Structure 1
Amino acid sequence: MTTPPVPEESRRLLDSVVPPPNRPPRLYLAMAHNPEVLRGYIERPILGLHGLLHTGQLAPDERELTILRVTARCGAEHEWGVHVAYFGKTSGLSSEQVAATVTEVTPSHAWSPRHLAVLTIADAMVDQRELTAAELAGVDEVLGIATRTEIVAVSAQYLGISAMCRVLAIPPEDSAPRFPSGT
């Protein structure tokens, strides 16, 4: 896959934190394909009022599917439940799809190709591995590089949040759903 050029907006952001002739770290360059992701890391917290979750370009179902899959795979029941409780009603995901983020049982209303690509990226992030050639081909068919970059950025943020939840033993909220039984 040929990497497209970095958008001019991202180039200006990169130059503000790593002035030429210095080369920005590869991570920053990867994020640069989506200026909002890069800006989220450089100019403001991802989760702040103006952070990535409020200004990102992912559709609500794709953003929540990413978050639910990462938090479920990491065993962060607290964060998973908070997202189901507060964003689940507006995400567009069915209750069966939400449960499948934990159980991995394919919902009867099958995943769309875009949802499968989101799950593929989220799973690779949790496993900390590269996509296989087949996975990358499937992702490339339905997602552009800016969308993939945003899914990776959201996944990375929620890997950290999941770790905090687990390490700090944050229990589920009383009013939030729990993982489906049997998991």
Structure 2
Amino acid sequence: MPRIAPAEAPYATAIAAELERIMPAGVEPLILFRTLARNPRIFARMFAGGLLDKGALSLRQREIVIDRTTARLGCEYEWGVHVAFFAQRAGLDAAQVAATVQGVAEAPCWTEEEQALIAAIDDLVDRHAIAPAVWTGLTTYFDETQILEVIALVGYYHTISFLCRALDLPLEGYAARFPEVPSAG
């Protein structure tokens, strides 16, 4: 069980409306969302800061950022939900999904543009900054608005990962699981 029990229906009017807006029809609201609903202020602020709308990045680029960030932070909960809901729509194949967890930025399954994107994500997660050489690679493919969105997404999903892991949320039944690491030997 999570450390804070998720809210149960009936929800407050504003929370119910937001859950209905963001969840696909017929899908139970995520445990994360229902847990955040225990604090309506945090719930409202987190959704006000959400970045799943049409932004400067393509759906594929956005999902690479989210999947790589949450995987690097060990947040199987959020990674698995995003893979389940968005990987196919974003055109991510099985090798690419696995590479968000286990691969290096230069993995051959990625385009050069995606490699630059992943290098920036890795720098932000590992160093909390972007090294000059990585920045140069990023600016080769992305403009200022896109780079700002990348940084904001990594930061936002850092927070989401902290919430999921600190709350010890159980994995959603339909969500993807991290791929097994091949054994050496």
TM-score, length basis structure 2 = 0.68
For residues 81 and 131 of structure 2, what CA distance do their matches in structure 1 show? 32
For residues 108 and 161 of structure 1, what CA distance do their matches in structure 2 show? 26
The reply to whether residue 181 of structure 1 matches residue 184 of structure 2 is no
For residues 171 and 62 of structure 1, what CA distance do their matches in structure 2 show? 27
3-state secondary structure, aligned to 1:171: coil
Q: 1:102–1:180: 8 Å Cα contact kept in structure 2?
A: yes
Residue of structure 2 equivalent to 1:45 = 48
For residues 166 and 174 of structure 2, what CA distance do their matches in structure 1 show? 22
Residue of structure 1 equivalent to 2:75 = 76
Q: 1:57–1:147: 8 Å Cα contact kept in structure 2?
A: yes
3-state secondary structure, aligned to 1:54: coil
3-state secondary structure, aligned to 2:109: coil
For residues 63 and 138 of structure 1, what CA distance do their matches in structure 2 show? 18
List alignment gaps of at least 5 residues for structure 1.
1-41
With over 3 angstroms needed to count, the CA separation of the structure-2 counterparts of 1:56 and 1:108, relative to structure 1, is closer
For residues 109 and 127 of structure 1, what CA distance do their matches in structure 2 show? 22
The reply to whether residue 129 of structure 1 matches residue 128 of structure 2 is yes
Q: 2:124–2:130: 8 Å Cα contact kept in structure 1?
A: no
Identical aligned pairs, as a percentage? 37
Residue of structure 2 equivalent to 1:110 = 109
For residues 95 and 143 of structure 2, what CA distance do their matches in structure 1 show? 27
Higher relative contact order at CA 8 Å, sep ≥6: structure 1 or structure 2?
2
Residue of structure 2 equivalent to 1:85 = 84
CA drift of 1:109 comes to 5.2
1:100 partner amino acid = A
CA drift of 1:141 comes to 1.0
Q: 1:96–1:107: 8 Å Cα contact kept in structure 2?
A: no
With over 3 angstroms needed to count, the CA separation of the structure-2 counterparts of 1:94 and 1:158, relative to structure 1, is same
Residue of structure 2 equivalent to 1:166 = 165
Residue of structure 2 equivalent to 1:59 = 58
Residue of structure 2 equivalent to 1:4 = none
With over 3 angstroms needed to count, the CA separation of the structure-2 counterparts of 1:100 and 1:81, relative to structure 1, is same
Q: CA RMSD in A?
A: 2.1
Residue of structure 1 equivalent to 2:13 = none
CA-to-aligned-CA distance 1:38-67 (integer Å, 9 cap, x gap): xxxx9x7132xxxx3113121011000000
Q: 2:65–2:117: 8 Å Cα contact kept in structure 1?
A: yes
1:157 partner amino acid = Y
CA drift of 1:175 comes to 1.1
CA-to-aligned-CA distance 1:80-114 (integer Å, 9 cap, x gap): 00000011110111111011010115797531122
Query: Structure 1 segments of 4 or more deviating over 4 A?
Result: 105-109
Residue of structure 1 equivalent to 2:40 = none
1:155 partner amino acid = V
CA drift of 1:136 comes to 1.5
